[in-house]
Amino acid sequence: MKNKIKFPLFIFISVVFFLVMNGKLTYQYSDLNNFKLYLKFLVSLLFGYILIYHLFIFKQE
> Which DSSP string corresponds to the chain?
-HHHHHHHHHHHHHHHHHHHHHHHHHHHS-HHHHHHHHHHHHHHHHHHHHHHHHHHHHHH-
**The pLDDT of residue 43:** 81
52-to-2, 24, 45, 47 alpha-carbon distances in Å: 14, 25, 10, 9
Does a structural domain hold residue 60? no
Does a structural domain hold residue 6? no
**The pLDDT of residue 1:** 47
Does a structural domain hold residue 28? yes
Does a structural domain hold residue 45? yes
In the predicted model, what is the mean pLDDT of the chain? 69
Whether the Cβ atoms of residue 21 and residue 41 lie closer than 8 Å to each other: yes
Number of domains comprising the chain: 1
Residue 23's identity, in one-letter code, is G
Does a structural domain hold residue 23? yes
Does a structural domain hold residue 61? no
pTM above 0.85, yes or no: no
Residues 28-49: pLDDT tens digits? 556 666 677 777 777 887 787 7
Does a structural domain hold residue 42? yes
Does a structural domain hold residue 47? yes
- Domain encompassing residue 32: 11-54
